[in-house]
Amino acid sequence: MIHERAVGIPRLEHHPAGGGKPEQTLLESFPFTIGRNDTADLCIPSSRVSREHAVVLKRGAVYRVQDLGSTNKTFLNGKQIEEAVLHDGDLVAFADVEFNFFSGSPPPSRQTATQLIDARDGRQPADVRRSVREIRRMQETLVHGSFAHEYQPVMELAAGRLAGYVAVEHRCSEPVQRGRGLADIECRLTSRLRWLSRILAVEGAQELPCGTFLIVPLDASELGAEGLAESLQQLVPALGDGRRLFVEVPETAVSDSSYFHEFCDRLREADVAIAYGGFAAGSPRIGQLRRHPPELLRLAPALTEGLSRHRERRSSLEAIVRSAAEIGARVLASGIAHTDEAELCRKAGCQLAQGSFTGASPAAGRLGRSAGCESRHGTLIEG
């Protein structure tokens, strides 16, 4: 990949999730193959991309993209395609990895008033079309998808005080369920829309009380993405000095890979705390997390369901808490509906609890900003 803009040669341009210079790949011969195979003309090292995912064809002066029966499909400007013509500025996604296509053709001579405005703006017509298209896609998702975030309180059980919040995304007035939500919306949530959703979550969290933390969950499919750690690091200043950011990784996605090792190191360097969520295994599994121990271990609701009726479940919970303490992790019980359940969790050793027993959860935009605890960078999105 190159970083300088080529003229006269078609190219695919990838914008890293965390920002920075776009990476450009020249399409110098056809058919131009795209996939996870090392032999592909464009090798994309993502588990969601098929080994032989797609191909770009040239017929005369026309460029076409064709899906090769991939598992996670090919999308053009948000719509799934089998084969389609490519135009300057088109957004093409192979699974969830996005590129903009440019033919490399020189822009037409500027003779109209509109073109003179473009020249004064310093942007090419293709760049303008691309920006309009991306803004329209995000606007449709925001307006019709109704992104909003609920901040579910987390209580410190021993002291009975508020400790933090879990950011839970809502869409169409319904909470996003496990395995659904952003990754399933029709316009294809990609890394940019996930990033946008997190910005909105952090922006709303600027109005939460000082001295609390915010847990932002990741989707397992995001792990392995280029620039993920850097994009999460950029959220830290927005929370302000009085709050702390926790990034929650699904426990089932924790691995011993070099990527995950570097991912954890990069987050800790930026003072981003790590939580593992959805923990539904037994205490022996915790010993396997020793290499990358979390600060918080958020339990799946099933582990605390029916504690008052099942002595063996209470014993299992106590064993999990002891094992978590050995690796320096605190335990957060989730899905707690009643105060007596919270008390049983406290007696079992759980330090934190989340659930409807805490009362109503605040939603973004309905909180008064806490005095004396402002964001260092102010609001992330204006308008």
Give the closest residue to 350 by CA, choosing from 364, 367, 329. 329
Q: Indicate whether this model's pTM tops 0.75.
A: no
Would you state the pLDDT for residue 238?
Answer: 79
Would you state the pLDDT for residue 144?
Answer: 46
Per-residue pLDDT at 182 exceeds 80: no
Residue 268 CA neighbour count, 13 Å, CB half: 12
- Lowest-pLDDT choice from 71-80, 184-193, 256-265, 371-380: 371-380
375 or 48, greater pLDDT: 48
Angle at 237 between CA 213 and CA 362, to 5 degrees: 40
Per-residue pLDDT at 382 exceeds 50: no
Would you state the pLDDT for residue 222?
Answer: 84
Q: What sign does the dihedral 12-17-23-25 (CA atoms) show?
A: negative
Where residue 134 falls among pLDDT bands split at 50, 70, 90? low
Strands of the 32-35 sheet, one edge to the other = 42-43, 32-35, 54-59, 62-67, 83-86
Q: What is the mean pLDDT of the chain?
A: 79
Distance CA 364, CA 203 (A): 8
Q: Which domains does the chain have, with CATH numbers?
A: 11-102 (2.60.200.20), 143-175+182-353 (3.20.20.450)
- Can you read off the two tokens belonging to residue 186? 């029709």
Judge whether 105 and 22 are in contact, CB under 8 Å: no
Would you state the pLDDT for residue 183?
Answer: 44
Per-residue pLDDT at 157 exceeds 70: yes
Per-residue pLDDT at 109 exceeds 50: no
Would you state the pLDDT for residue 123?
Answer: 43
Judge whether 92 and 86 are in contact, CB under 8 Å: yes
Mean pLDDT of 317-340: 95
Would you state the pLDDT for residue 279?
Answer: 92
Give the tens place of pLDDT for each residue, 193-248: 677 778 888 878 888 888 999 999 998 888 887 788 888 988 888 787 788 999 99
Would you state the pLDDT for residue 160?
Answer: 92
Would you state the pLDDT for residue 17?
Answer: 62
